[in-house]
Homo-oligomer: A and B are copies of this chain.
Amino acid sequence: MIKKAIIKNFDIKKTLSSSPNRICVADLGCSTGPNTFLAAQNILESLQLKYQLENDQKDFQIPKLTFQVFFNDQFTNDFNTLFNSLPPNRNYYACGIPGSFHGLLFPESSIHFIHCSYSLHWLSKVPEQVRDRNSLAWNKGRIHYTNASKHVVEAYASQFAMDMMSFLRARAEELVVGGLMALLVPAVPDVLLPSDTTNGTEKDLLGSCLMDMTKTGLLREEQVDNFNLPMYYTSQSELKAIIERDEHFSIEKMEKLNNPKKHVQMPTVQMRVLYLRAALEGLLVKHFGAEIMDELFKRFSEKVAESSFFLNPENQKSIVLFVLLKRNSN
């Protein structure tokens, strides 16, 4: 009956001809809040202000602007919690969008502003070569690229480049011409080795704890060989080069975030360990099982406490890049 009703009654031309004063904003990698709500609020207030400023120069009545905010994260994200944490007095229509931002999430030219914060360092997958024992890039006995062979580093870098390009390709399709995209990307300074940063070192240290556990029979070596973290920390020059390969965006701004608090040492070893555990435990449990987690992080905190390099705040060094892109008319 619905099919018949549509064939008989739906006036396609008429229903597609409208174009209201609606602005669509998307936050990609939103998690469950509250950071995403703060970001959305900020973006909306800014758009509203910009709109008002433009209209003040004219005579006519400002039509009411309405906002639709699309909150995106992986299918495994807890959208129930996200929805139940939505600010009650929000001035926008909220939507949840499940799916990977390495593919298309929205129809063509349907989004006006995209925000993506602390998400692009997650790769779509572990590069295949690092798990292949016949490849030069086989990452035996490690779980990340810090202190690994250059082949491993290259495999990670090339996965990041591919992911970033598919991200940009999808966003170019979704953004209207003139639309903006603000990216906050965890990164390392140019010219530094991963092992020069605590961020890189802590992942190497965690890998060494897993290897220690193979020696006492708690784990098998192949289990560690087969596990690699799907994360990559780019640099400003590397990211700039990747973006410039996509002809749809112009870089309006790109700079290191002035975020001095990031460089302050975590107050205690325990807090530093808990922070890493919160970020990585989900991935680790999936591969190694929940039983070994307490033992693993006990060993890890012992190693952190012993390391003079690790607890020197001067070695923190990881940065966040702010990148503003505009969808051009190419």
Contact = CB atoms under 8 A, between A and B. Distances in A.
Q: Say which size band chain A's interface belongs to.
A: 35 or more
A168 B282 CA distance: 45
Interface stretch (A110-118, A225-233, A296-304): A110-118
Contacts of A22: 16, 107-108, 110
Contacts of A12: 47, 50-51, 54
Given A19-B16, A50-B10, A93-B106, A3 B178 contact: no
A70 interface: yes
Nearest to A324: B5
Interface in A1-44: 1-3, 5-7, 9-23, 39, 42-43
Binding site of A, secondary structure by majority: helix, strand, loop or mixed? mixed
Contacts of A39: 2
A1 B323 CA distance: 10
A179 interface: yes
Interface stretch (A79-87, A124-132, A311-319): A79-87
A54 B86 CA distance: 42
Interface string A58-75: 000000001110100001
Interface stretch (A94-102, A151-159, A187-195, A239-247): A94-102
A128 to B, nearest CB: 22
Per CB-CB distance, the 4 closest pairs between chain A and chain B, nearest first, are A96-B96, A14-B178, A6-B46, A83-B98
29 contacts: A1-B182, A1-B322, A2-B42, A2-B182, A3-B42, A3-B49, A6-B47, A6-B49, A9-B324, A10-B47, A10-B113, A12-B54, A14-B178, A15-B176, A16-B176, A18-B19, A18-B177, A20-B109, A20-B110, A22-B107, A66-B108, A68-B107, A75-B83, A79-B80, A79-B96, A83-B96, A93-B105, A96-B96, A96-B98
